[in-house]
Chain A
């Protein structure tokens, strides 16, 4: 999608002599890679140090005595009930300890997964027909409905918090993942419809006509003709709505109270506000939080770009 701009689309090239150009590009690339990867490398390096090493001054960039104890603590926390005592036994010098809430991390990942997958499915169910109708059916109020859709996304989510909170408590859904699934629709659906609509619009109208002449109903035209063609865009919205729900913090902070519904960001945030926690343990938790979304994004990188291109840049 990106790099293959052929003869039609040119690039703004640095018109410098070969070596200078190469040097500039090389230097800039190294700086950029360092800027992007630096924090990740430091996080990963800290996560495999023991408590003694992590408080060295100046810091050890490369761990001298790498250990997976922190990850073990996360994954075995539920079985063993890692507490202050068991932790200090394992690493006597440290004094940093692993909180009792450590056992919440794995269940919270599960909650996050349930929420994210449900939100993705609902987005597809609700968003696909709407996007198709907006792109290919001419009806009165079409442009109004597009503006309406976009304007709901300009509203800061913090405005939604109190009304949601009152509703959800009245419905008895506080501390229930359902409350998160419902409210996350508000922050994902407008974007989903917008991206898909832009993609459907870029497909020729003749396709629509031909399918209709051949006797397809509107629904069949959508599912048999347009949807298969729009798969890259569908991949993009699956990714976007998944990551948005997986990463969301503010609403989850308000509506969840116990591990019955707490999602991963909430449990991680509870670690960071505890000053007595082992630093290396927090960093290991950070790695666990960062790996799944980064993997997803890196694998589906091309869809992010094509998804953006579909709607965004046409203005």
Chain B
């Protein structure tokens, strides 16, 4: 945000700084109380728990184990393989979302009949519950009666029905597809809004200088999209890394461990193995990684892109 020059006349003239500060404090009190209670405190408490060997199967023996939980989870092979799956899921999804969002924004940036209709239906996937999204795609991917098999068979692209989610090779891309379908609308809206804010003069100047459509797109549109694009990139990366719902509904981490991603790993460790200490340590590692990643993206890409 560029700093805007401001004159705090009311403050300067009557020397009401104290009063202002008090008013601000009063207005911020409720939100501070709420956020400390539901965000700050739990995050701290979470780290505290991660230092204990807390298993609900043995609730009365809770020894303090320093960083043993972290050592334990980091030496677990499943941790690294699940981290790798989360990484590939994130790369797949975010790449697809970015490309599709720019294409859709380019389309909606044109003026034509039906544009408004497209803009309105576009918010529908964004609005539905992820659980309903999962249910819908589970039924589309169904290996015996699903729409995907039906459509591909009728189009002659397959000879017989194919197993989709049950095939370890296909599971992650298919879940990513369901994720992308739901996330693309918001991303396109954000990019479209940025696109509309590009000043017309830039294009006029470029045209005078003899730039063609493609050159104008590469040298004006893409660089000007940076703020919106950055936002989409960071937001969708965060969402993809932590995503849980679709894995729960569509595959429960299976088949075998083909969709055993990091968030599913945390869930299993915590609520199926009932090991709160290690589960929390896992969650904490994920928090630190996402935080570091957001910081890294803003610092490097944010400057260069």
A5 at interface, CB cutoff 8 A: yes
Question: In whole Å, how far is A306's beta carbon from the nearest beta carbon of chain B?
Answer: 9
Q: How far is the CB of B259 from chain A (nearest CB, A)?
A: 15
* B-contacting residues, A227-283, CB 8 Å: 243, 246-247, 249-250, 253-254, 264-265, 268-269, 271-273, 279, 282-283
Q: Which residues of B contact A62 (CB under 8 A)?
A: none
List the A residue with the shortest CB-CB distance to B145: A55
Cα–Cα distance between A190 and B263 once the two chains are bound (Å)? 23
A residues bordering B, Cβ < 8 Å? Answer: 2-3, 5, 7-15, 22, 25, 28-29, 32-33, 35-37, 39-40, 42-43, 46, 54-59, 61, 122, 125-127, 129-130, 132-134, 137-140, 142, 145, 148-149, 151-152, 154-164, 166-167, 182-183, 185-186, 189-190, 193, 205, 209, 212-213, 218, 222, 243, 246-247, 249-250, 253-254, 264-265, 268-269, 271-273, 279, 282-283, 285-286, 289-290, 293-294, 296-298, 301, 304-305, 308-309, 312-315
Query: Number of residues in B with C-beta < 8 Å to the partner?
Result: 120
B187-219 contacts to A (CB < 8 Å):
189-190, 192-200, 203, 213, 216-217
| B127→A243 contact, CB < 8 A | yes
A39-B140 in contact (CB<8A): yes
Nearest first, the 10 closest Cβ-Cβ pairs linking A and B are A10-B200, A297-B127, A133-B27, A130-B31, A156-B242, A247-B129, A163-B42, A186-B38, A129-B27, A265-B131
Give the chain A neighbours of B300 by CB distance below 8 A.
none
Known A-B contacts: A129-B26, A167-B45, A312-B228. Give 14 more (CB < 8 A): A9-B198, A25-B107, A29-B107, A59-B146, A125-B30, A129-B27, A139-B25, A155-B290, A161-B283, A163-B46, A247-B128, A269-B248, A290-B129, A290-B136
Report chain B residues within 8 Å CB of A249. Answer: 129-131, 244-245, 248
B197 touches A313 (CB 8 A): yes
A107 smallest CB distance to B (angstroms): 17
Contact of B144 among A43, A55, A159 (CB under 8 A): A55
Check if A159 sits within 8 Å of B287, measured CB to CB: yes
A272 touches B140 (CB 8 A): no
**CB-defined contacts of A56 to chain B, threshold 8 Å:** 145
User: Is B230 a contact of A315 with CB atoms below 8 Å?
Assistant: yes
Residues in chain A near residue B260, CB distance under 8 A? none
CB of A14 within 8 A of CB of B276, answer no
A126 touches B30 (CB 8 A): yes
**Residue of A59, A193, A222, A304 touching B150 (CB-CB under 8 A):** A59
Q: Are B145 and A158 in contact (CB under 8 A)?
A: no
Selected A-B contacts with CB under 8 Å, 27 pairs: A12-B106, A13-B110, A29-B114, A29-B118, A35-B181, A54-B145, A57-B144, A57-B145, A57-B161, A58-B154, A152-B39, A154-B238, A156-B242, A157-B242, A159-B286, A163-B280, A166-B276, A183-B38, A186-B38, A272-B135, A283-B135, A289-B129, A298-B120, A301-B120, A304-B123, A312-B193, A314-B1
Q: Is the CB of A160 within 8 A of B106?
A: no
Least CB distance from A271 to B in Å reads: 8
Stretch at the interface among B8-16, B77-85, B168-176: B8-16
- Complex Cα distance, B290 from A12, in Å, reads 35
List chain A residues, Cβ under 8 A from B195: 11-12
Max chain A CB contacts within 10 Å: which of B28, B37, B270?
Answer: B28
Q: Do B109 and A156 have beta carbons less than 8 Å apart?
A: no
Max chain A Cβ within 10 angstroms of own Cβ: one of B20, B23, B192: B23
Chain A CB count within 10 A is highest, among B136, B181, B203, for: B136
B31-A193 in contact (CB<8A): yes
- B46 contacts which chain A residues (CB < 8 A)? 159-160, 162-163
Minimum C-beta distance from B174 to chain A (A): 13
Contact A272 B138 (CB under 8 A): yes
Given contacts A138-B8, A156-B283, contact A313 B161 (CB under 8 A): no
- A33 and B118 in contact (CB under 8 A), knowing A158-B267, A289-B132? yes
B139 CB contacts on chain A under 8 angstroms: 42-43, 46, 279, 282-283, 286
The complex places the Cα of A124 from the Cα of B110 at a distance, in Å, of 37
Given contacts A58-B150, A185-B38, contact A37 B244 (CB under 8 A): no
A14→B197 contact, CB < 8 A? no
B147 within 8 A of A: yes
Q: Is the CB of B129 within 8 A of A268?
A: yes
Q: Which of the residues A25, A36, A212 comes within 8 Å of B124, measured between beta carbons?
A: A36
List, in ascending order, chain A residues with CB within 8 A of B116's CB: 3
Is the C-beta of B253 less than 8 angstroms from some C-beta in chain A?
A: no
CB nearest to B40 among chain A residues:
A152
B200's nearest neighbour on chain A, judged by CB, is A10
Whether B111 is near chain A, meaning CB under 8 Å from some CB there, is yes
Across-interface contacts of B123 in A (CB, < 8 A): 297-298, 301, 304
For residue A49, give the distance in angstroms from its CB to the closest CB of chain B.
10
Q: Closest CB of chain B to A220's CB: distance in Å? A: 12
Complex interface bits, B258-296 against A, C-beta within 8 A gives 1, otherwise 0: 000001001100110000100110011011001100100
Least CB distance, A175 to chain B, in whole angstroms: 15
B242 pairs with A313, CB closer than 8 A: no
Nearest residue, chain B, Cβ from A298: B120
Q: Which of B142-159 contact A (CB under 8 A)?
A: 142, 144-147, 149-150, 153-154
B43 contacts chain A at the CB level, 8 A cutoff: yes
Residues of A within 8 A of B301 (CB): none
- With a cutoff of 8 Å between Cβ atoms, the chain B residues found around residue A190 in the complex are 35, 39
A312: contacting residue among B35, B130, B231, B279, CB under 8 A: B231
Select B200's contact among A8, A167, A271, A309, beta carbons within 8 Å: A8
